[in-house]
Structure 1
Amino acid sequence: MISLITLDALQTLDAIERRQSFAAAAEELHRVPSAISYTVNKLEEDLGVALFDRSRRKAELTATGRLVLEQGRQILKASEELTALARQAADGWEAELRICIDSVLSCDPVYDLIKAFLCIQPKTEIRLSEEVLGGSWDALSDDRCDLIIGAEGAPPATGFALHSLGKVDFEFAVATGHPLAKLPMPLPASAIQDYPTVIVADSSRRLPVRSSGLLDGRSRIIVPTIGHKIEAQCKGLGVGYLPLHRIRQELAEGRLELLTVDAPRPPVEISVAWHRGDTGKGLMWFVERLKQMQFDPDLGTLTRNP
């Protein structure tokens, strides 16, 4: 069905209402007044409704005319945004950039990058997501994101470009005053088995799920993110390995304490990754800046290379 209301007609109504006269609207739109009158008359004829009340000295919008104008301005705005997006895409900038952050990292340094990016390219929509363990690789493989920050371990397949950010240290932690803290160190696996282990669930949808720091505990408490795992262990619900940089405040506040075990968990390498063939300007902007950064285990954040 062909719409009876054109963008030209909506622009004309908008100009008339803002300038408060047909003549002023004609001047703004660089047309003769008769062309403005013709556009309005034609639209009224096509719709079968009166858009202006001409019984007064100055034409005013009717209730129907006001409705058409208010809804029409939304259409005009959407048209302008679509035009901008088309030009943006033609210039190589993405309309949307999907960034996945692994749960092992905090979002703070990424927020700083986004703020800087939006200063130069505010039209690109940034969509953030959080994944756990293999879920980061799964999101990239399944095209649910364009860039992953903090992905753990090796990629599941070829076709990805990577930049190593460094290694994350994990330590065995329990709530302060936990019974395990009273035992001789290092703790044997047999001692740990007496208490629930808090496990972060892998968020993969298609790839095989990964396990991380599993302990042969009597029972398990499964949580969705590292943040939930930290809180659960602070409350004494269970025990397990935690990324050291994420629990420095809890350690300082006395909510958690570190224990040594006879089977410590080795550091985990984390990376930035993206599809090798993807060269969008927004993606490359983030990649180039992330290539200049490394994970600082002492500060617990991403920092620029010296």
Structure 2
Amino acid sequence: MTSARDVLTPASLSMLQMIADAGSFAAAARNLDMVPSALTYRVRQIEDALDVLLFDRSSRQAKLTQAGAELLREGQNLLVEVDAIANRVKRVATGWEPQLTIAVDSIIDRSTVMELCESFYQLNPPTRLKLRGETLSGTLEALTSGQADLALGAVMDGSGTTGLQREKLGTVYFAFAVAPHHPLANVQQALSDQLIRSYRAVAIADSVQLGSSVSIGLLHGQDVFTVADLPSKLDAQVRGLGVGFLPTCVAQPYIDSGRLVEKKVERAQQQVQSYYVWRQTKASQQGRALQWWLDQLQSPTTRASLLGQRASLP
């Protein structure tokens, strides 16, 4: 039995539109260089497959039924999409990837990412962009598992990972911050780990799916309030729900305004090296979309902005 997919082709939709525009099967048949009986037979096939009447045949005019009018309305959208797909395929053949997925760590400045996306789309590329929000080990895992093509803000150990290329984004420094009404805010001396351990910490959940998760600045045995992302961690610490290290670039405006208090701690200053990472391929096999992003990341200003910092002057 003929199915709707068999009959709803771009050619058949154009034929139905021709009949509707001509106002009769005879006129449409002349325009299409067909005999009227052949045209009528093809329309019957479509109607049988859909189990609806597309034209009212009670008069000599070919008048669309409500179902026929709806089919042509939706059919026009389908034809536009077919043309768009054809154009995308042609452009992808020039070296653009169909889709580029970017894993964005929670430490990365979202406004800068969106500015880069805006610049990318101004090229009118055929590549679809997809952003994945990740945290800590999950950022690199998205790349190694094949779920992303580029990772921004990955934390890596010195050994590296086979098959990946990486470049430094920059060093992220952390400040230990508490709310002004938190008990630790009034302690004068540098905070010891023993003292910090007695208060709840706020931590971001590692988005890693496989393998071991990573934590920064947590103490063994400390009560932990785990949140989904960096904005939530900042909000929780401003509310006094816990304490912990925050990227200096994020915390500084709140410290300057008095909404957070930076405290000295006895341990060494927390800092991590942040990278952008992509899968290693031959230059001839690298897509143009990925290459565009890598070109932008060569700029010190862009790298600093992604970490919420100002580029260092030479």
Tell whether the 8 Å contact from 2:175 to 2:270 is kept in structure 1 after alignment. Answer: no
Letter in 1 for 2:174: F
Letter in 2 for 1:236: G
Tell whether the 8 Å contact from 1:196 to 1:217 is kept in structure 2 after alignment. Answer: no
Question: Aligned partners of 1:123, 1:56: CA distance in 2, in Å?
Answer: 48
1:141-168 deviation line (CA, Å, top 9, x unaligned):
1111111111123375211111211111
Displacement of 1:183 in angstroms is: 1.9
Please, which of 278, 282, 288 is the counterpart of residue 281 of structure 1? 288
Matched, 1:181 2:185: yes
Tell whether the 8 Å contact from 1:196 to 1:221 is kept in structure 2 after alignment. Answer: yes
1:98-123 deviation line (CA, Å, top 9, x unaligned):
11111012211111111111111343
Question: Aligned partners of 2:181, 2:199: CA distance in 1, in Å?
Answer: 14
Matched, 1:62 2:65: yes
Matched, 1:112 2:111: no
Q: TM-score, normalised by structure 2?
A: 0.84
Matched, 1:10 2:19: no
Tell whether the 8 Å contact from 1:22 to 1:33 is kept in structure 2 after alignment. Answer: no
2:132 paired residue number: 129
Tell whether the 8 Å contact from 1:168 to 1:270 is kept in structure 2 after alignment. Answer: yes
1:65-94 deviation line (CA, Å, top 9, x unaligned):
223323333432332233233223222212
Question: Aligned partners of 1:131, 1:170: CA distance in 2, in Å?
Answer: 19
Question: Aligned partners of 1:246, 1:74: CA distance in 2, in Å?
Answer: 46
Aligned 1:206-221 pairs, distance under 5 A: 206-216=210-220, 218-221=222-225
Question: Aligned partners of 1:235, 1:36: CA distance in 2, in Å?
Answer: 79
Change (3 A) 1:305 1:42: farther
Change (3 A) 1:78 1:99: same
Displacement of 1:36 in angstroms is: 9.1
Change (3 A) 1:38 1:130: farther
Change (3 A) 1:225 1:206: same
Letter in 2 for 1:195: Y
Between 1:281-290 and 1:203-212, the stretch displaced more is 203-212
Between 1:128-137 and 1:148-157, the stretch displaced more is 148-157
Change (3 A) 1:73 1:245: same
Tell whether the 8 Å contact from 1:163 to 1:291 is kept in structure 2 after alignment. Answer: no
Question: Aligned partners of 1:32, 1:41: CA distance in 2, in Å?
Answer: 14
How many residue pairs get aligned? The number is: 301
Gaps of 5+ in 2: none
Between 1:285-294 and 1:149-158, the stretch displaced more is 149-158
SS of 2:206's equivalent in the other structure is coil
Question: Aligned partners of 1:89, 1:193: CA distance in 2, in Å?
Answer: 55
Tell whether the 8 Å contact from 1:99 to 1:127 is kept in structure 2 after alignment. Answer: yes
1:10-62 deviation line (CA, Å, top 9, x unaligned):
12323554x56579x97xxxx94434967742322213465333555753212
Please, which of 147, 161, 167 is the counterpart of residue 165 of structure 2? 161
Displacement of 1:235 in angstroms is: 0.8
Q: TM-score, normalised by structure 1?
A: 0.86
Change (3 A) 1:33 1:84: closer
Report the aligned-residue RMSD: 3.0
Tell whether the 8 Å contact from 2:179 to 2:239 is kept in structure 1 after alignment. Answer: yes
**More helix, by proportion:** 2
1:45 paired residue number: 44
Gaps of 5+ in 1: none
Between 1:55-64 and 1:260-269, the stretch displaced more is 55-64
Letter in 2 for 1:104: I
Between 1:74-83 and 1:166-175, the stretch displaced more is 74-83
Letter in 1 for 2:41: K
SS of 2:101's equivalent in the other structure is strand
SS of 1:247's equivalent in the other structure is helix
Q: Percent identity?
A: 32
Displacement of 1:181 in angstroms is: 2.3
